[in-house]
A and B are shown apart, each in its own frame.
Chain A
Amino acid sequence: MQKHLLTMRVNGEQVELAVRPNATLLDVLREDLELTGVKEGCSEGACGACAVLMNNEPIRSCLTLALEANGAEILTIEGLATGGRLHPLQEAFVEQGAVQCGFCTPGMILSSKALLDRNPQPNDEDIKTALAGSFCRCTGYAKILEAVRAARDGDVGNEGS
């Protein structure tokens, strides 16, 4: 197998590395770039733990060859906070108790970010559609829904108040 050069932007930084053709984007993000916030759950597209944004759209990194990301802009959960400040969605997930083990959280938050960027005022149906296929095995979806609503409404940063 001949390695190919892969150039992409990950969390705002240009990266260039040689990858095996049969490496998935998930493999490269986790193993080569050590972005372990990208989780491998089912590895078959069905759970959403590996979701990342490619050119602002949610995709399954377990179903995407790394080389298919050539020239793309990738955002993982590691790239969401800016200047040491959590993104409002991250704050909302913390404040609403929408995180337990945290395994589904990166995918949930990134899918929610793509939704809010596309549609800043989603209703519950829109949120459920955007998160369908993202599975949480512990928190339960009610809290996750509340967190996305809170981020939508700007109702964040109230912890302890």
Chain B
Amino acid sequence: MRLPPFEYQAPSTLDEALKIKRGQGAAAQILAGGTDLIVNFKHRLFSPATVISLNNIAELKRIEVTHDALVLGAGASLAEVASHPAVNEHFPILVKAIDSIGALGIQRFRGTIGGNLLLQPRCIFYNQSHYWRMSKGLCHRTGGKDCLALEGSDSCHSICSGDTVPTLLALSAQLALAGGGGKRVAPLAEFFTGRGESPWNIMPEEILTEIRIPLPWAPISWSYQRLALRPAVDFPLVNAAAAAIVEKGKLEHFRLVIAALGPAPMVLREVEARLKGAAPTREALDLAQDAAVRVAEGVVVANASASKEYRIQMAGALARRATGEALGLA
């Protein structure tokens, strides 16, 4: 399959890449591992004037531990992140999430952690060849005025499918972005808009530079759960991550996230609020499951390879499993 025509630049510094971005904005697209972008080019979902490769920018591939955070360069490969000693020491949940992505030969060595976060949200009416899509007509995401999955909807419900997203959110990650006005740091929790046609709070001239995960003040117990038609290659139908800190029998910190449902991952704050401060009991499982189903009912539409009802019920099941495993109740 042919790619659309574009110019190619492979700067060796972030500053040079930002300069190209400042000049061209959205017409210049970032290529990290390309394992999402190139497929989308082939499907003619994008056709940029310029592709900016991050391949030669060493400063974006750094992984380091500072006094209070693990800092992952956005351009670090999934293999580099998953094999890094500090990642294994502090956040084995992230290794598990990375292990679950696609397949070793697809993106383990080329795909990046930044590209996984910025994976274009997916929809069965969108991730198709140009020819296939033309038979259905346009939707919000492709320049039309309706949603093919939910008639009359005023926005796009495509699915945030990155396997590291719920984990990074459960670990309260922050993002560093560089762009027009210099650098800024934003919590991952505030990065998603909930609208599939413009899923992130990122400016056209910005580049994601780092993902910072705060080092925990006490050991974290955790769980990553994922459901897909086939365990390899296929994107998640639902995924969930939980992180907990239990001290002296009391739950001092708890975060539960479900994702791959709609354009934004969902942090189940009410579960967190209800459980914090008390000793974890099996009631937590029902609480997590019920909350997840309720939240999923509000966001899931019929746009994946499993039915809407199945995905809603499985959001509950995975939230339950994640809570059970993280709290040692399973």
Identify the B interface with A (CB < 8 A). 1-8, 10, 31, 34-35, 38-39, 41-42, 51, 53, 55, 79, 102-110, 231-233
Assembled-state Cα–Cα distance A122/B271 (Å): 42
Name the distance in Å between A43's Cβ and chain B's nearest Cβ: 4
Contacts A23-B3, A44-B1 supplied; 8 other A-B pairs, CB < 8 Å: A22-B5, A22-B8, A24-B38, A60-B106, A62-B38, A65-B34, A65-B38, A132-B103
| Contacting residues, chain B, for A4 (C-beta < 8 A) | 8
Kindly provide the distance from the CB of A27 to the nearest chain B CB, expressed in whole angstroms: 8
Most chain B CB atoms below 10 A, which of A45, A70, A107, A129 = A45
Is A90 an interface residue when CB atoms closer than 8 A count as contact? no
CB-defined contacts of A58 to chain B, threshold 8 Å: 104-105, 109
State the Cβ distance, B303 to closest chain A Cβ, in Å: 19
Point out the residues of chain A lying under 8 angstroms from B107, CB to CB: 45
Contact string, A103-124, partner B, CB cutoff 8 A, digits 1/0? 0000100010000000000000
Is the Cβ of B109 less than 8 Å from the Cβ of A65? no
- Which residues from chain B contact A133 at a C-beta distance below 8 Å? 102-106, 232-233
Cα distance, A17 to B125, chains bound together (Å):
39
In the assembled complex, 26 residue pairs joining A and B whose CB atoms fall closer than 8 Å, in A order, are A1-B5, A1-B7, A22-B4, A22-B5, A22-B8, A22-B41, A24-B38, A45-B39, A45-B102, A46-B106, A59-B105, A59-B109, A60-B105, A60-B106, A63-B35, A64-B110, A65-B8, A65-B31, A65-B51, A67-B53, A68-B10, A68-B31, A68-B53, A132-B103, A132-B231, A133-B105
Q: A44-B42, A46-B233, A63-B34 are in contact. Are A21 and B106 (CB under 8 A)?
A: no
* B81 CB to nearest chain A CB (Å): 15
CB-defined contacts of A43 to chain B, threshold 8 Å: 1, 42
- Tell me the complex Cα distance, A57–B83, Å: 14
Residue interface bits A140-153, CB-to-B below 8 A is 1, else 0: 00000000000000
Report A65 CB to chain B, min CB distance, Å: 7
Q: Is A130 an interface residue (CB 8 A)?
A: yes
A133 vs B109: C-alpha distance in the bound complex, in angstroms? 14
Pair B105/A48 contact, Cβ less than 8 Å: yes
Q: Which A residues lie within 8 Å of B10 (CB)?
A: 67-68, 70
Cβ-neighbour of B3 out of A24, A44, A51 (below 8 A):
A24
| CA gap between A60 and B53 in the complex, in Å | 17
Q: Are B38 and A1 in contact (CB under 8 A)?
A: no
In this complex, the member of B2, B8, B53 whose beta carbon has the largest number of chain A beta carbons within 10 angstroms is B8
A134 within 8 A of B: yes
A45 near B51: Cβ-Cβ < 8 Å? no
- B104 lies within 8 A of A21 (CB): no
Residues of A within 8 A of B (CB): 1-2, 4, 20-24, 43-46, 48, 51, 54, 57-60, 62-65, 67-68, 70, 107, 111, 129-130, 132-134
CA distance A8 to B185 in the complex (A): 38
Q: How far is the CB of B140 from chain A (nearest CB, A)?
A: 24
Q: A residues within 8 A CB of B5?
A: 1, 20-22
CB contacts (< 8 Å) of A45 on chain B: these are 35, 38-39, 102, 106-107
Closest 10 CB pairs of A and B: A133-B103, A21-B8, A132-B232, A22-B3, A57-B109, A43-B1, A58-B105, A132-B103, A63-B38, A1-B5
Return chain B residues, CB-CB under 8 Å to A129. 104
List the A side residues contacting B79 at CB < 8 Å. Answer: 57
Are the CB atoms of B105 and A134 closer together than 8 Å?
A: yes
The residue in chain A whose Cβ has the minimal distance to the Cβ of B127 is A44
Give the Cβ gap from A158 to chain B, nearest Cβ, in Å.
Answer: 29
Determine if B2 and A132 form an interchain contact, defined as CB atoms under 8 angstroms apart: no
Determine the distance from Cα of A20 to Cα of B104 in the docked complex, in whole angstroms: 28
Q: Which of these, A22, A24, A48, contacts B6 with CB under 8 Å?
A: A22
| Residue in A4, A44, A111 whose Cβ sees the most chain B Cβ within 10 Å | A44
List the B residue with the shortest CB-CB distance to A23: B3
Q: Tell me if A64 and B34 are in contact (CB < 8 A).
A: yes
Interchain CB contact under 8 A, A51 and B7: no
- A65 to B2, alpha carbons, bound, how many Å? 11
Complex Cα–Cα for A1 and B6 (A): 6
